[in-house]
Chain A
């Protein structure tokens, strides 16, 4: 355990209520940081246990078309990492759910990992997940920087991960582990992969950390299926797309909150 413990506590609280944690994702700055703040507020009100905020990057190799377009809109609006940290410190006053930044490594590297950790911690960020930074590459500068500021380093595991790699993530990560449900990029899919339940069960036996499952989840049914086997369910592209499609509507926030609440409700087991 290296972070403040807010992520672990959020998963533990969900487990006590016999449900999986609901972990929604939004791209920060899409279409503006102000709007992101409002949407995060709606998510918190709808029952989000952990909130993932995407840091937009020009070359998102692990993302499908929906998140690519969201990143483009955010960058076109001039979104900067420092602005995202300011946003987090503002929404911290009214949002209790822990916040994890979901980024590619280059913006963090350019900001300076130590400086980033210091500023992120001060603004109330709880953890960092860099999609293209496996534990091996994080070891030298990023892990020490995050630990020094009590931020949780969150890592991905995938269907291709070997036992050795699961052990490496178990050693380096804290807060939770993000299991990528399928080989591929982010985005909504019609069905969950067939072997998912047994893969997640095996992973939970091998790890002391909570396991959240993402990539491809969009419907309450899919969230419910994941909730039966995992500690958390991540929904990203579906919410990003919903917010973009309804961006111009006056009742965007209540509509968005209702959508999120349906997904959150699906995390209840039994």
Chain B
């Protein structure tokens, strides 16, 4: 069990997960990152902080989220039992709030009164706007204008929650460009502002801090599995991977159990060619690189310029992956695969029609892979899927996708 031994203590003091991670940022941010790491290390040992966060997660956000045996879906698929961890039922509709509440509390502890955030699908932006409203923080959320178009319901939600939403016109006008702009704001206002980063990305301490705030997903699922099924663990755990926070949150509870196969699902988009997908492990054009403060696997060209990506789901449409994912992939502990736009949309419909649940398009990628795997497994096997968000935000995207497919059909 090489990975179990190597993983102990990750990241190291330099914020490294094996050969990945670190702090690749302009000098202006180095001391603030050191300060943030100190504040976080203090907070995570502080009982009062933990009590306050646990209380918010339970009484405000609605934890624990249920574990739902998707029997009609499992029957339809005809194989393993598929069980859903219902993060879509968390307040604001996705797992993002776990992290947003944690970091917003930390912002208060650091005596800062403003947060900036990036958002792709809008779920992290909504979670940040929500936590900021709750704790009386000023919030500015950067969002690519292409994403504002396809997720405009979430734009309105953020504004109603009192956040300023700033459209980003540069580059591909998606998540990557929103992070660029959030970093520029942070480097300018770092003395008063915390960057409430939404995934296990960026410079240390973000990858470990966001992971720790999302661990609750896997820890709860573990207890729920034992209570309901008398099992210590599933045979398979499946989650979608954009930056990778919901996946790390679920997987971290099972990393030490070698019987559990962990499967991360990336956005396969429209195909393997560069620019057509966001698959940092399986797709073409990925290499080790440095983007947004961390060393990880990055989709890029031969010159080290960051590649364009495509996914039907805005939340997975990003050229880099969290550094801990890159390290766990190298160790072979997590398997990475991808689902195409078409497979994700089909899974969206399947889950809606068999279980009465509209999943976020991001989560639909995980459902697609779970269905594919469950078919090949026995009825005794158990597949745990992180249903990381709900799909109300994606109605227009799905309808537009279906319309385009219908028109293209002969």
Mark A residues whose CB is within 8 Å of B.
57-62, 64, 68, 75, 80-81, 104-111, 131-134, 136-137, 155-162, 165, 169, 180, 183-185
User: Using Cβ atoms and an 8 Å threshold, which residues of chain B touch A132?
Assistant: 24-26, 290, 293
Mark B residues whose CB is within 8 Å of A.
14, 22-32, 34, 170-171, 176-177, 180, 183-184, 187-191, 287-293, 298, 300, 302-306
Q: Assess whether A106 is in contact with B290, with CB atoms less than 8 Å apart.
A: yes
Q: Assess whether A158 is in contact with B180, with CB atoms less than 8 Å apart.
A: no
Q: Assess whether A160 is in contact with B25, with CB atoms less than 8 Å apart.
A: no
| Minimum CB–CB distance for A103 against chain B, Å | 10
Q: Assess whether A161 is in contact with B290, with CB atoms less than 8 Å apart.
A: no
B interface secondary structure, majority:
mixed
13 other A-B residue contacts (CB within 8 Å) besides A134-B25, A136-B23, A169-B27: A57-B304, A59-B176, A60-B180, A62-B187, A105-B290, A106-B290, A106-B305, A109-B289, A134-B23, A134-B30, A158-B26, A160-B27, A184-B28
Q: How many Å lie between the Cα of A106 and that of B24 in the bound state?
A: 10
Q: How many Å lie between the Cα of A58 and that of B289 in the bound state?
A: 13
| Minimum CB–CB distance for A100 against chain B, Å | 16
Known: A132-B25, A136-B14. A58 touches B306 (CB 8 A): yes
| Minimum CB–CB distance for B174 against chain A, Å | 12
Q: How many Å lie between the Cα of A180 and that of B302 in the bound state?
A: 31
Q: How many Å lie between the Cα of A61 and that of B181 in the bound state?
A: 7
Known: A59-B176, A137-B22. A81 touches B303 (CB 8 A): yes
Q: Assess whether B292 is in contact with A61, with CB atoms less than 8 Å apart.
A: yes
User: Using Cβ atoms and an 8 Å threshold, which residues of chain A touch B189?
Assistant: 183
Known: A59-B306, A136-B14, A160-B31. A106 touches B26 (CB 8 A): no
Task: List 22 A-B residue pairs with CB atoms under 8 Å apart, sorted by A's residue number.
Answer: A57-B305, A59-B171, A59-B292, A61-B180, A61-B183, A80-B303, A81-B303, A105-B24, A106-B305, A106-B306, A107-B303, A110-B302, A131-B26, A134-B30, A156-B27, A158-B27, A158-B31, A160-B27, A162-B31, A183-B188, A183-B190, A185-B188
Q: How many Å lie between the Cα of A127 and that of B306 in the bound state?
A: 24
| Minimum CB–CB distance for B297 against chain A, Å | 12
Kindly report which residue of chain A lies nearest to residue B34, judged by CB atoms.
Answer: A162
Q: Assess whether B303 is in contact with A110, with CB atoms less than 8 Å apart.
A: yes
Kindly report which residue of chain B lies nearest to residue A81, judged by CB atoms.
Answer: B303
Q: How many Å lie between the Cα of A162 and that of B302 in the bound state?
A: 37
Q: Assess whether A106 is in contact with B187, with CB atoms less than 8 Å apart.
A: no
Q: How many Å lie between the Cα of A201 and that of B191 in the bound state?
A: 22
User: Using Cβ atoms and an 8 Å threshold, which residues of chain B touch A81?
Assistant: 303-304
Known: A61-B180, A61-B187, A165-B31. A106 touches B171 (CB 8 A): no
Known: A106-B304, A111-B304, A184-B187. A157 touches B290 (CB 8 A): no
| Minimum CB–CB distance for B247 against chain A, Å | 24
Q: How many Å lie between the Cα of A162 and that of B28 in the bound state?
A: 10
Q: How many Å lie between the Cα of A17 and that of B25 in the bound state?
A: 36
